[in-house]
Amino acid sequence: MGSYILKRLVSAIPVLLGITVIVFAIMALIPGDPATAILGSYATPENVEKINRDLGLDKPAVQRYFIWLGNMLQGDFGRSFSLNRPVLDEVLERFGATLALAGTSFVLCAVFGVAAGVVSAARQYGFADKAITFAVLLGISIPSFFLGMMMILIFAVQLRWFPVSGMWPVYGSRDLMTLVQHLTLPAIALAVVATGVVARLSRSAMLEVLRQDFIRTARAKGVPERGVIWRHALRAAMVSIIPVLGIQAGFVLSGAVYIEIVFQWPGVGRMLVDAILTRDILLVQGGVVFVAACYVLFNIVVDVAQSLLDPRIKT
Amino acid sequence: MALLTFTRRAVLAAGTALAMSFGMPAAAQTPPNVLFVGQIAEPKALDPAAVTAVNDFRILMNVYDGLVRYKDGTLEVEPALATGWEISEDGTEYTFTLREGVSFHDGTPFNAEAVVFNFERMLNEDHPFHDTGPFPLAFFFSSVDTVEAVDELTVKFTLSEPYAPFLSNLAYPTGLIVSPAAVEEYGAEFGRNPVGTGPFTFAEWRSNEAVVVEGNADYWDGAPELEAVVFRPITDANTRTAEMLAGGIDLMVEVPPVSLSEFEGEDFTVHEQAGPHVWFLILNAKEGPFADKLVRQVANYAVNKKALVEDVLEGTAEVAAGPTPPAFSWAYNDTLEPYPYDPEKARELLAEAGAEGAELTFYVTEGGSGMLDPVAMGTAIQADLEAVGFDVAIETYEWNTFLGEVNPGLEGKADMAEMAWMTNDPDTLPYLALRTDAFPSEGGFNSGYYSNPEVDELLEEARVATDQERRAELYKEMQTIVQEDAPWVFVANWKQNAVTNERVGGFELQPSFFLLLDDVTKN
């Protein structure tokens, strides 16, 4: 097991290096530069040149890449010029917020998605199955940002049950309760599509397992139906459900961008969008590399989890 | 049936949890005497010398003072931290008398040394704290040769040449005075730990959530009514509108035209104020159809400006007559009438110029500072121009890319481009964008290559004249000539808007587009 994990970690290194090259190249090639973004209407060539010098952008691109990479390997992601603070501080803070949002959504989609899929499969073509299938179709068809706006209009503006936006109350205490209040609407809006996908795939995975001999055996030897479904069948189906959950984890992370903008959630997705618009090169690069590293790491965790469940996968 | 009971129990549990969360007092009322302001973005820094965005200025103007400021409701300069000033005969020496007994929020005294420190930091590359920059707008003061502290309360600026906009540049946020002691203490982090002399004292900056400032009871111009102001960055305009409707913020700036109808009721007040803004089309006077003055005038007759400001912009702007916004009332030529919308005349003139069916490339931006609704406006303009016989192809760019295409000049690329400017002095825009010496190749913004020696002369003279009446005459004459020459299609002057709820009193928008909150109340 140890050597498997190590092998996976080593193979992640070229992937990450590739990502640094790509994100650096994209930021170097896109039109528009930070100086123009800072100066706006006042971007005379003279001013642009001065700003570029101040930001160290007057050096050749290759040299800048290696300076950046070298600093990063020593844990220095540089300084964001648009926010005037270290990139790593900003990314870590923002990533925490994204993780809270995406993590909650992921738990919601895993729990409700799998449960709905299992119930659906256990009651194939029954009323519960049809109701769930309909709800799932509806769920995966609504764009999350639209759902988010509608939820704000109904539950925050009209009914005033939840705050409109933000992660914490602007005034007053910050405790778990207030976090949950702020988290509810965005987490649900973000989870809906993923829940639908998980439910669909769990249903088909369960149906496949339920047709197998060992299920018949279990039923024959008198295991209660509840045990058959939740213990025997679900456990076997998990082997095909877990990779789907892994993909959905990536999906909620990337889908968080829209939701973060709609709900003004202080997460890393919104940060990247703002950083791109202001051409905050180091912040974009640092943010993308950090998020990519997390993706890679997450994929390794999923693979390892899968190999624990199904020893055949480990090679 | 075990399965079903389990499911029922789960549903019940989930339902109860949901019901419990519904019962929470989620949208509690905001406290009195604390004003919540919905901003359009996270501030970049709260160091006035280091920032360029109106969004940041809205906070800065409440934490700092400058030597001078704009008189309430105008763009005319009045004393602030300086109680008075004298200008030498030749217009190169400005001597300011400073207000006595003013302290920065950190308790250090405001004096001539502090003023010298501020300008040295920005302008002198050898200053020990010059590295707390970059200072992108330092060129506002590039004509300053030396700043000297004559005595404790007298400071003298010597300019390399007469420069009339100097005073109004001092009233701009770039001229706000920061505490030298705080810069020494925080260094590059000063932008997150601002210390000034203004009506509000900086309290807290929680990234991406809020900047909190508290009332300064010792303010030299009278303590503010409010205990505190909370500036919240809410980038999405729909979300900002929702927060305003839900009572999460008391004051919202830059309301999108389409959202204005939400605030028609008695619970809200919509404020409007025309500012020093002009939205125009740069025409390429160097080559192609617009090299002919007649064709440039055709474009001015062909565009239905009234429909643009009333329909596309829902009345949030007024039709512009010339290159100078009316908000500069002392320098504005009010005898100018906007080009009337007259497609008939446009067609006749176009035939006269022999340019029927001329193909035009039109650069449109997707957004950008002061650009209002550029895509919708660009499309409407395209339709108007095609109706009189042009053939217009639009090319759309993201804002930074757009600037990268337009600022170096339109030659060889396009015949026209959208543009908008907000300035603090009537000198700035024409001087940077209408002179022959301001061609892009010379480092200016005359991207359409308009050139008229008469205009050049008027602008040069207005810049060095220290007498405001003389300057006004020169600007008015310039506007008449420029309108006739039509280097641009003059389209709109934006009216900035804001909404307050019924708990807020004493709020007024300023023509400078700054947000001044020292007289505002909230119950």
CB atoms < 10 A from the CB of B351, how many? Answer: 12
What's this model's pTM, rounded to 2 decimal places?
0.83
**What is the CATH code for B64-197?**
3.90.76.10
In the block, residue with structure tokens 């199955």: A129
Can you say whether residue B422 is alpha, beta or left, with left for phi > 0 and alpha for psi between -120 and 50 degrees?
beta
Identity of residue A265? W
CB pairs < 8 Å spanning A and B: 165
Angle at A226 between CA A223 and CA A227, to 5 degrees: 45
Q: What gap in Å lies between CA B215 and CA A301, rounded to an integer?
A: 52
Retrieve residue B145's tokens.
Answer: 């040769």
Q: Residues of chain B with pLDDT > 90: what percent?
A: 72
pLDDT digits (tens, 9 = 90+) for A113-124: 999 999 999 888
Retrieve residue A116's tokens.
Answer: 């709905």
Domain ranges of chain B: 64-197, 277-496
Helix (H) and strand (E) counts in chain A: 13, 2
Of A46, A55, A274, the CB nearest to B443: A46
pLDDT digits (tens, 9 = 90+) for B202-231: 999 988 889 999 999 999 999 999 999 999
Query: CB-based contacts of B177: which residues, under 8 Å, 6+ apart?
Result: B64, B65, B66, B67, B81, B110, B114, B115, B118, B196, B197
In the block, residue with structure tokens 């209407």: A41
**Least-confidence region, from A291-295, B75-79, B109-113, B288-292:** A291-295
Of A50, A81, A171, the CB nearest to B31: A171
| Cβ(B238)–Cβ(A150) below 8 Å | no
pLDDT of A41 reads 65
B193 close to A (CB below 8 A):
no
pLDDT of A184 reads 94
pLDDT of B2 reads 42
pLDDT of B385 reads 96
pLDDT digits (tens, 9 = 90+) for A8-44: 888 889 999 999 999 999 988 887 778 777 776 676 7
pLDDT of B422 reads 87
Tell me which architecture the domain covering B277-496 has in CATH: Roll (3.10)
Q: What gap in Å lies between CA A72 and CA A286, rounded to an integer?
A: 8
Sign of CA dihedral B94, B97, B99, B100: positive
**Given a cut of 80, is residue B112 above it in pLDDT?**
yes
All residue ranges of chain A with pLDDT < 50 are none
Q: What gap in Å lies between CA B370 and CA B280, rounded to an integer?
A: 11
pLDDT digits (tens, 9 = 90+) for A131-155: 999 999 998 899 888 999 999 999 9
Query: CB-based contacts of A312: which residues, under 8 Å, 6+ apart?
Result: none
Q: What gap in Å lies between CA B466 and CA B400, rounded to an integer?
A: 37
Retrieve residue B383's tokens.
Answer: 């339709």
- Torsion on CA atoms B460, B423, B321, B450, rounded to nearest 10: 50
Are B242 and A152 a contacting pair at CB < 8 A?
Answer: yes
User: Helices marked H in A211-279 — which ranges?
Assistant: 213-220, 225-227, 234-262, 268-277
pLDDT digits (tens, 9 = 90+) for B5-30: 445 555 555 555 554 554 444 455 78
pLDDT of B190 reads 93
Nearest to A93 by CA among A105, A107, A77: A77
| Cβ(B288)–Cβ(B415) below 8 Å | yes
Retrieve residue B24's tokens.
Answer: 């929470």
**Given a cut of 50, is residue B509 above it in pLDDT?**
yes
pLDDT digits (tens, 9 = 90+) for B316-354: 999 999 999 999 989 999 999 999 999 999 999 999 999
Tell the burial category of B302 from Cβ atoms under 10 Å away from its Cβ (0-12, 13-18, 19+): buried
Higher pLDDT, B55 or B115: B115
Of A37, A50, A266, the CB nearest to B400: A37
- Rounded to the nearest angstrom, the gap between the alpha carbon of residue A186 and the centroid of all alpha carbons in its chain is 13
| Cβ(B355)–Cβ(B292) below 8 Å | yes
Split at pLDDT 50, 70, 90, the class of B420 is: very high
pLDDT of B197 reads 96
- What is the three-class DSSP state of B178? coil
| Cβ(B455)–Cβ(B478) below 8 Å | yes
Nearest CA in chain B to A260: B236
First to last CA, chain A: 10
Q: Work out the minimum CA distance from A264 to partner chain B, whole angstroms.
A: 6
H or E stretch including B306? helix B305-307
Nearest to B42 by CA among B198, B199, B205: B205
Are B236 and A262 a contacting pair at CB < 8 A?
Answer: yes
Tell me which chain A residues have a C-beta less than 8 angstroms from the C-beta of B134. Answer: 38, 50-51, 54-55, 81
> What is the set of domains in chain A, with CATH numbers?
88-314 (1.10.3720.10)
